[in-house]
């Protein structure tokens, strides 16, 4: 499996309704896409739930590299290029995942991202990292990915209803327990499977 995400920064005064309508009109185009485990159409809005910027940031989990190649190099990704220009596509290796039966109904995603520190050994790091991350609580699904090219990680926790602890900046900071993680709260506009 391969995770993929491109994060498109948008101006602070950008009308996010444009992206919501885009997802509504185009979301079904990736339903049933070959080798796609899922795609979540994600947006963050500046000053909402502590987010620092407007972003359009679809997150994909591919069963196989063939589907990702068909998407990126076979035409569908050209829509992103035409609408938003050249984007960095971030790739991740799934470290752990739990996809619940409620997943098609999720409406929120919370990304906790950070760096993997230099170490003399990485033995057991996956378990150590999972134990250090803030508890995802009653998340409908979770995916933890890492990128050894950039030595970073992201844990996406998906919810039908956004828990209060992710809505409140003070509570979010408390949950981080001094860790240098970035948190982004996304609205899920559509889930393709």
- Looking at residue 178, its pLDDT comes to 79
Q: Which residues of 95-128 are buried (b: 16+ CB within 10 A; e: fewer)?
A: beeebeeebeebebbbbbebeeeeeeeeeeeeee
More confidently predicted of 166 and 172? 166
Q: For strand 108-115 and strand 90-99, is the pairing parallel, antiparallel, or unpaired?
A: unpaired
- Looking at residue 9, its pLDDT comes to 98
Using one digit for the tens of pLDDT, what is the confidence trace for 46-59?
999 989 999 999 99
- Looking at residue 179, its pLDDT comes to 86
Using one digit for the tens of pLDDT, what is the confidence trace for 3-16?
999 999 999 999 99
Structure tokens at 94: 């799934």
The pTM score is 0.95
Q: What is the CATH number of domain 2-192?
A: 3.30.70.100
**What does the mean pLDDT of the chain come to?**
95
pLDDT above 70 as % of the chain: 100
Domain residues of the chain, as ranges? 2-192
Biggest CA–CA distance in the chain, Å, is 49
Residue 111 pLDDT class (50, 70, 90 cuts): very high
Q: How far from 2 is each of 35, 59, 78, 124, 143, CA to CA, in Å?
A: 10, 11, 20, 21, 11
Using one digit for the tens of pLDDT, what is the confidence trace for 53-94?
999 999 999 999 999 999 999 999 999 999 999 999 999 999
Average pLDDT over residues 156-171: 91
Average pLDDT over residues 116-128: 94
- Looking at residue 170, its pLDDT comes to 82
């Amino acid at each position: 499996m391969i995770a993929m995400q491109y994060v498109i920064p948008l101006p602070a005064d950008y009308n996010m309704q444009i992206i919501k309508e885009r997802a509504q009109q185009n979301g079904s185009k990736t339903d049933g896409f070959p080798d796609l485990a899922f795609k979540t159409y994600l947006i963050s809005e500046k000053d909402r739930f502590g987010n620092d910027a407007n972003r359009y940031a679809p997150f994909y989990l591919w069963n196989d590299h063939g589907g990702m190649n068909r998407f990126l190099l076979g035409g569908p990704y050209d829509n992103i290029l035409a609408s938003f220009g050249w984007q960095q596509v971030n790739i991740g290796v799934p470290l752990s995942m739990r996809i619940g039966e409620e997943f098609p109904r999720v409406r929120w995603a919370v990304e906790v991202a950070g760096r993997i520190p230099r170490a003399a050994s990485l033995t057991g790091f996956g378990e150590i990292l999972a134990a250090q991350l803030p508890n995802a609580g009653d998340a409908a699904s979770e995916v933890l990915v890492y990128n050894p090219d950039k030595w970073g990680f992201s844990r996406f926790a998906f919810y039908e209803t956004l828990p209060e602890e992710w809505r409140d900046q003070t509570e979010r900071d408390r949950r981080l327990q001094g860790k240098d993680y970035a948190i982004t709260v996304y609205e899920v506009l559509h889930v393709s499977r």
